[in-house]
Amino acid sequence: MVWLIAVLEARRWLNRGPFLRRGKGKRDATQRKGAPAKLLLAFVTVALSFNVVTNASRIVRGVAEAAERDSAPGDAFVSHGVLRWLDDIVGRGEDVPSAYDSQQEELEAAFLFAGRTETGDGSLSARVDELRRIWKERGRAGFHETQIDDAPWPTRGLWYSGADPTRMLAPLALICLLLSTSVIGLAVVGSDRDLARGDERLEWWFSFPVPTRALLLARLLGSTLVQPLGWLLLAPFFLVVFWCAGYGPYVGALLALAAGLYFTLLGACLRVLAETGLRRFLPPRRVAHVQAALEVLSAVPLIGAFATSSKVGLDYMIELSRALSLGFVFNPLSLPIAWLLPRGALAALGALMLLAVVVYGTVSAGSALLRDGLLSASEPVLGTRARKPVSEGAPRAFWRQVAARELLAMARDPARLARVTLVPMVTIGLAGLSDPRLFRGIISEPMHASAAAFGVGTLVLAGGGLVTLANEGPGLWMLYTAPWSLDAILARRAALWSMLAGAVVLASLIALAIIARDIRFVFNGYAVLALFGVGLYGFVSVALGALGTDVLESARARRVQPLTAQVFLLLTGMFTFALYSPSGWAKFAQLSLSSLFAFALWQKLRDHTPYFLDPTEAPPPAIAVSDGIFAALSFFVAQGLLGFLFMRLRFSPGLVMVFSFSGAGLLVAVAALWTLHRIGVPRLAQTVGLASLGSPLRTVSLGVLAGLVAGAGASSYTQLVQRVGWLRALYEESERIDATPEQLRWLAVLAVIAAPLFEELIFRGILYRGLRRSLDTRTAILASAVVFAIVHPALSFVPVFGMALCAATVFELSGSLFAPILTHMIYNGIVLFITLRSWT
């Protein structure tokens, strides 16, 4: 019975991923729309384990190096190669102080090399200074060969087995304590259910003719098996530790499994006690508060543990562990580390006994708590409070009502409120604590301050806007009964979250300005950029979160695809590039591309909102902005790859240029058209303008006329460049092609034939059509021209922008892609002619 229920629990968990699902449902009726990213999830699982293994190896190595240093304080441990280098210098028969003067260059190189081979991000110059000092004071005698390998993988060589085992074990025990505390804490609270609401399955199980103790045992087993964080984080960590400590990979894996089992079982016991005990002694509202508080508290040690992947964080942890005695290793939350002591078997026996006692205690306490049966399901989950009748007032604007509802629901949900307010603060605070230099860096310059404030803002968005649709849950049907489209409602919510995050950014900047005593932290271009950024990303968060939400999923925590938050934070990271990019031009380009991306996401959202509650229907296929972005990106990537390939094949530079450009263009054009055809875009050839010439005379004359206008614009622009100082400087900075006549011929082919063909298909046929679907003609022309111009060099922005305006206009007017191709050909021909003439 116990086994049956545990297996059911594990099966239920496994069924969440289709790639793990066993067997096939008899009826295919509820086959759902394709859920993306499931395979990606498997990939991330593997990548995460890999990451834990390499990080744990780094931690073990760092601890071993520190232990080795402690064995001979004041001396330096360097690699075999460096030592031979030093021996060589000494071997030339000079005494040490004079050797420093005569061999300074060589020594500095050796020290620099030694400093660099050490792990991580500690200050290199400080380390070099230290090595220099040791050489001056103690000479060759101050240097020893390190016994620690520098492998990035677990090996026996990463362990330092010097005299005192505390030196190795105490820091590891401390890190283990952080990891296990958070894993156990999250096992208790971070589940997919509200603790306050209890588990409906428990109620179901109580209907079986089984004693309470067996039910609780089954629950324990099920919760033990289903603890992804425990198995993905703790088990690989212990695998590395045991492997390096000399048990090898196989015994190490067994011991790691045992350690993982130890902690997941402890977590499961606490979970079961919390489930049964908290609800018995506390009103449900309080239970919700306790759960929210525990969730935030469990995140704190986890962040601490992650901080040890940086050298500064690890050194800090090692420093802390110096104050600990060997007895610390025996604390229950680090106990598996004690298995490494000479009498480790005793510690293992202790762990086993402790587990037995805890499991027995949990089952006994649980059955005592449940002696009166489960709490009745009708127990109120939330408190009630008498309220004054709602005052009569003027009708509130629709969007204020949407905002009021969102804020009210958040304010009353302790877990959500904590995620939006506390988690960003705790994260930033801890990052500052674990590395004080970081904080000093932030208040050293407005640019860093703005980037940090933007980071806080995005964390608010990740806790708020990203989950706004998921929080709607089964109540989403209500929004479908209102005479508003769901995307209109979501747009207002996005605006709300943009404003909230903007307020948080502003508050952070003001706080930093007060700390730095410099009002310029608030009033500068970077601050404006950060505010614009959170405004934009408020919309990105809502769109991305909504698209990544499975509203038909009943469990709240599983409604959002696990990768959504990571993707969102990755995208905000890209925006941070805009803050740090060197020139105004690069910033403008980053901003434009970010905005285009936000627009593409929002267009996708608008396409999908009517189908959210329909398990099988998807929006009708159409060309989207995202298709254009994807085609353009593929075009650039394919050019690079093909260029590399042709260069390896020893083609002449001119041919490489033409072949890679045309090859990439052809590849992307065929792939894009084939994909759009396969997804079933109706009237594809007409839409991208390849179906007909339209009226041939009109198409040709429009194309030629627009090409001449754009060419004339480019010609006047070159005159302007010669006259305006800063433009001229930009011109002279820009690279001049030193081309042979053969290359020039190919360049002409490229500019006049290949570029117009492929670029027009991608930027007009696909991207402009995607934009035009959601924008009016004028705005779509403008937007597509900006995008086309920013993927060109800064100097040519103005004329290319003009050409793109002309090309999009004639495309819209003629409906045929041949018109803009002609325009582009004539424009490029004129520009090529002007350029060549200016060189001769």
Partner 1 sequence: MASLLEVSALTKRFGEFTAVDGLALSVESGEMFGLLGINGAGKTTTMRMLMGILRASAGSARIAGLDCFHDRVEVKRHVGYLPDEPAFQDYLRGREIVRFVGEMHGLSGAEIDARASKLVEPLALADAMDEFAVNYSRGMKKKLGLVCAMLHEPRLLILDEPTSGLDPVAMRRLNELLHAYVAGGATVLLSSHQLDHVQAICERIAIMSAGKLAAIGTLAELRARASAESSLEEIFFAITEPREPVGA
Q: Determine if 697 is a binding residue for partner 1 (CB under 8 A).
A: no
Q: How many other C-beta atoms are found inside a 10 Å radius of the C-beta of residue 411?
A: 11
Helix, strand, or coil (residue 334): coil
C-beta of 127 vs 773, nearer to partner 1: 773
Q: To the nearest whole angstrom, how small is the minimum distance from the Cβ of residue 193 to partner 1? A: 13
Q: To the nearest whole angstrom, how small is the minimum distance from the Cβ of residue 384 to partner 1? A: 5
Q: Determine if 723 is a binding residue for partner 1 (CB under 8 A).
A: no
Q: To the nearest whole angstrom, how small is the minimum distance from the Cβ of residue 800 to partner 1? A: 40
Q: Determine if 558 is a binding residue for partner 1 (CB under 8 A).
A: no
Torsion angles phi and psi, residue 145, rounded to 5: -80, 135
Q: Determine if 98 is a binding residue for partner 1 (CB under 8 A).
A: no
Q: To the nearest whole angstrom, how small is the minimum distance from the Cβ of residue 481 to partner 1? A: 5
C-beta of 401 vs 695, nearer to partner 1: 401
Closest CA to 501 of 469, 451, 543, 535: 535
Torsion (CA) 299, 300, 306, 307 in degrees, nearest 10? 160
Torsion angles phi and psi, residue 291, rounded to 5: -60, -45
Query: What does the block give as tokens for 612?
Result: 């959210």
Considering only residues 354, 355, 381, 510, which one is a binding residue for partner 1 as defined by CB under 8 A?
381
- Complete DSSP assignment for 12-56: HHHTTSGGG--S--S--TTPPSP-TTHHHHHHHHHHHHHHHHHHH
Q: To the nearest whole angstrom, how small is the minimum distance from the Cβ of residue 602 to partner 1? A: 18
Which residues inside 23-42 make contact with partner 1, applying CB under 8 A?
27-31
Q: To the nearest whole angstrom, how small is the minimum distance from the Cβ of residue 559 to partner 1? A: 13
C-beta of 150 vs 379, nearer to partner 1: 379
Considering only residues 395, 582, 682, 741, which one is a binding residue for partner 1 as defined by CB under 8 A?
395
Which residues inside 170-209 make contact with partner 1, applying CB under 8 A?
none
Instruction: Classify burial at 795, counting beta carbons within 10 Å of its beta carbon; exposed 0-12, middle 13-18, buried 19 or more.
Output: middle
Number of residues that bind partner 1 (CB under 8 A): 49
Question: What one-character DSSP code corresponds to residue 163?
Answer: S
Query: CB within 8 A of 404, min separation 6: which ones?
Result: 396
C-beta of 323 vs 386, nearer to partner 1: 386
Question: What one-character DSSP code corresponds to residue 341?
Answer: S
Question: Between the CA of residue 514 and those of 422, 460, 511, 778, what are the distances in Å?
Answer: 21, 22, 5, 46
C-beta of 471 vs 699, nearer to partner 1: 471
Considering only residues 387, 517, 678, 837, which one is a binding residue for partner 1 as defined by CB under 8 A?
387
Which residues inside 412-431 make contact with partner 1, applying CB under 8 A?
412-413
Residue type, 63: V
d(CA 665, CA 753): 12
∠ CA(705), CA(706), CA(708), 5° rounding?
A: 65
Q: Determine if 323 is a binding residue for partner 1 (CB under 8 A).
A: no
Q: To the nearest whole angstrom, how small is the minimum distance from the Cβ of residue 31 to partner 1? A: 4
C-beta of 98 vs 378, nearer to partner 1: 378
| Among 339-347, 378-386, 436-444, 490-498, the segment contacting partner 1 (CB under 8 A) | 378-386
Q: Determine if 666 is a binding residue for partner 1 (CB under 8 A).
A: no
Q: Determine if 376 is a binding residue for partner 1 (CB under 8 A).
A: no
Question: Between the CA of residue 7 and those of 143, 266, 682, 781, what are the distances in Å?
Answer: 58, 19, 48, 59
Torsion angles phi and psi, residue 466, rounded to 5: -65, -30
Q: To the nearest whole angstrom, how small is the minimum distance from the Cβ of residue 504 to partner 1? A: 22
Instruction: Classify burial at 98, counting beta carbons within 10 Å of its beta carbon; exposed 0-12, middle 13-18, buried 19 or more.
Output: exposed
Q: To the nearest whole angstrom, how small is the minimum distance from the Cβ of residue 777 to partner 1? A: 23
Considering only residues 200, 372, 392, 735, which one is a binding residue for partner 1 as defined by CB under 8 A?
392
C-beta of 567 vs 613, nearer to partner 1: 613
Closest CA to 702 of 833, 826, 801: 826
Considering only residues 384, 723, 733, 735, which one is a binding residue for partner 1 as defined by CB under 8 A?
384
> What is the x/- site pattern for partner 1, positions 590-629, by CB under 8 A?
--------------------xx-xxxxx------------
| Among 159-167, 320-328, 380-388, 676-684, the segment contacting partner 1 (CB under 8 A) | 380-388
C-beta of 549 vs 699, nearer to partner 1: 549
C-beta of 26 vs 723, nearer to partner 1: 26
Q: Are 635 and 755 in contact (CB under 8 A)?
A: no
Considering only residues 209, 373, 393, 582, which one is a binding residue for partner 1 as defined by CB under 8 A?
393
Q: To the nearest whole angstrom, how small is the minimum distance from the Cβ of residue 33 to partner 1? A: 11
Instruction: Classify burial at 284, counting beta carbons within 10 Å of its beta carbon; exposed 0-12, middle 13-18, buried 19 or more.
Output: buried
C-beta of 323 vs 478, nearer to partner 1: 478
Considering only residues 398, 585, 651, 731, which one is a binding residue for partner 1 as defined by CB under 8 A?
398
Question: Between the CA of residue 711 and those of 581, 723, 831, what are the distances in Å?
Answer: 32, 19, 7
Q: Determine if 471 is a binding residue for partner 1 (CB under 8 A).
A: yes
C-beta of 554 vs 838, nearer to partner 1: 554
Helix runs in 72-165, H state only: 80-91, 96-102, 104-117, 124-138
Q: Determine if 93 is a binding residue for partner 1 (CB under 8 A).
A: no
Q: Determine if 21 is a binding residue for partner 1 (CB under 8 A).
A: no
Q: To the nearest whole angstrom, how small is the minimum distance from the Cβ of residue 389 to partner 1? A: 8
Q: Are 312 and 437 in contact (CB under 8 A)?
A: yes
C-beta of 30 vs 840, nearer to partner 1: 30
Q: To the nearest whole angstrom, how small is the minimum distance from the Cβ of residue 387 to partner 1? A: 5
Instruction: Classify burial at 263, counting beta carbons within 10 Å of its beta carbon; exposed 0-12, middle 13-18, buried 19 or more.
Output: buried
Q: Determine if 407 is a binding residue for partner 1 (CB under 8 A).
A: no
Instruction: Classify burial at 353, counting beta carbons within 10 Å of its beta carbon; exposed 0-12, middle 13-18, buried 19 or more.
Output: exposed
Q: To the nearest whole angstrom, how small is the minimum distance from the Cβ of residue 551 to partner 1? A: 11
Tokens 């902690």 correspond to what residue? 263
Which residues inside 477-506 make contact with partner 1, applying CB under 8 A?
477-478, 480-485
Rg of the chain, C-alpha, whole Å: 32
C-beta of 198 vs 663, nearer to partner 1: 198
C-beta of 405 vs 728, nearer to partner 1: 405
| Among 330-338, 401-409, 522-530, 706-714, the segment contacting partner 1 (CB under 8 A) | 401-409
Q: Determine if 401 is a binding residue for partner 1 (CB under 8 A).
A: yes
Helix, strand, or coil (residue 77): strand
Q: To the nearest whole angstrom, how small is the minimum distance from the Cβ of residue 393 to partner 1? A: 5
d(CA 305, CA 143): 32
C-beta of 283 vs 332, nearer to partner 1: 283
Q: Determine if 474 is a binding residue for partner 1 (CB under 8 A).
A: yes
Query: What does the block give as tokens for 27?
Result: 């009826």
Q: Are 539 and 494 in contact (CB under 8 A)?
A: yes
Q: To the nearest whole angstrom, how small is the minimum distance from the Cβ of residue 292 to partner 1? A: 13
Q: To the nearest whole angstrom, how small is the minimum distance from the Cβ of residue 25 to partner 1? A: 10
Q: To the nearest whole angstrom, how small is the minimum distance from the Cβ of residue 37 to partner 1? A: 21
SS (H, E, C) 444-483: CCHHHHHHHHHHHHHHHHHHCHHHCCHHHHHHHHHHHHCC
Contact residues for partner 1 (CB under 8 A)? 27-31, 378, 380-387, 389-396, 398, 401, 405, 408-409, 412-413, 471-475, 477-478, 480-485, 610-611, 613-617
